[in-house]
Structure 1
Amino acid sequence: MNTHGSNDPLVEVAALGSDSRYRLVRFKGHGWEPVDRQEFRAEAARLFPGVDLEDSEQVEWQDHPWEWPNWHPGEA
């Protein structure tokens, strides 16, 4: 939970879905987009150099922090 008043977190991660390889993520100033684990780290670092992905005030997870859907290459 963000404790800095009305400031939004830099990154919001939507609830875990069971039918996809992605999680929906909103980077501050951008819309929601589906990203996988590697894209999440890379895009956060690109948009917000120095972001602390472990800081709950900077990154808000709706559920299951750091969990991603089970997906294997070749699956639809």
Structure 2
Amino acid sequence: SLLATLSTIVLWLIGYHAENRGLHLRYQANSIKSRRVISYLTLAENVLRHSPLILRRTVLSTVLNHLAKTYQSMVLVY
């Protein structure tokens, strides 16, 4: 459904933002600290469960702009 899709997109963006802020290191159970090993959705779920006020500080349009810039730098334009 549309609501489930929108919820998933918002959770994914929150997880993406949390990784950019380095919050993923708090929720990793293994010893790898150089990269993210949990999904953005799982990261967002954990962050929201333990720090629900992050939504007040997160502006999704800023996260979307950062994602767009990162994606554009990865994609080759012919």
Q: TM-score range by the shorter chain?
A: under 0.3
Q: TM-score, normalised by structure 2?
A: 0.27
Q: TM-score, normalised by structure 1?
A: 0.28
Structure scoring higher RCO (CA < 8 A, sep ≥ 6) equals: 1
* Structure with greater proportional helix content: 2
* Structure with greater proportional strand content: 1
